[in-house]
Amino acid sequence: MNAGKPSDPAISPGQDAQLGQDPSATPADRESSGRGQEVDHRAAALQDLQTINTAGPSRWSRIGAGLLGILLSPSVLLLASFITLRTLVVEARFIPSGSMLPALQLQDRLLVDKLSYRFRLPERGEIVVFHSPHRFSPMGYGVPEPFWGQCALVSFPGLARVFHHPKCDAYIKRVVALSGERVVVDPLGQVWINGKRLREPYVDHNCDDMEHLCHTLSAQVPPGHVLVLGDNRPNSQDGRFWGFLPTDQVIGRAWLRFWPPETSGPLPPAYGPPGQGLASQRPDAKPLATTRP
């Protein structure tokens, strides 16, 4: 035995243990082992990626199922039905002023039919609800636009005063002249169509006080427009002041009064039930007076 002769290994056993390699392995074996470990790492990475891809759709599916459950909840469906019905079919309105006296009283509650005018134009004598003239007439010049969604918020109970904007208002008046007609409104508030007096049985308030004569108008109704006036001629901000109403600004036809209960029901036609001969809606109806505007 050469007990005193020191050993001279190329790599000490301690180094082999730290590197996790077999000290008796050849360089070829070690290279093969390294390649194997690299393959194992790649396989593990691919497995992790597959696991992520597999779990991803499942997670989004759960989120989608949760959102679908919320959208199909009774409260959301009820709200969506209300918005759809109000937008396309019918909506409730109340009368804030006396411009349509005596046919409509202050604080009357009405249902507005929004379907009829999708298939036809407004007719003479009908009471229509329309967007504020601040949207389409010179009286709106210089008035800033409402922010997106403001007019929708105004329509909800309790929010009208908070989000009020003049361009979000709605007006209610009666159609008296149609497209292409020559119309004159005289100082007494009487309407003349193509030179003949229009009979208006719904008007009880004329401008008969010579000190408070009505605002006058004389013009031809342009295409795609109508003239609307309030039944209470001395106290109505209507087409005599801001011009003709574009038919595309009409929201709908005032159809039914549901409050107060004692006067509830469909609004009567301007000229009474057909066949009673109260008057004609035609502009060539028999004049009621011999005076001319």
List active site positions.
99, 173
> Is 216 buried (19+), middle (13-18) or exposed (0-12) by CB count in 10 A?
middle
Nearest CA among 243, 250, 238 for reference residue 97: 238
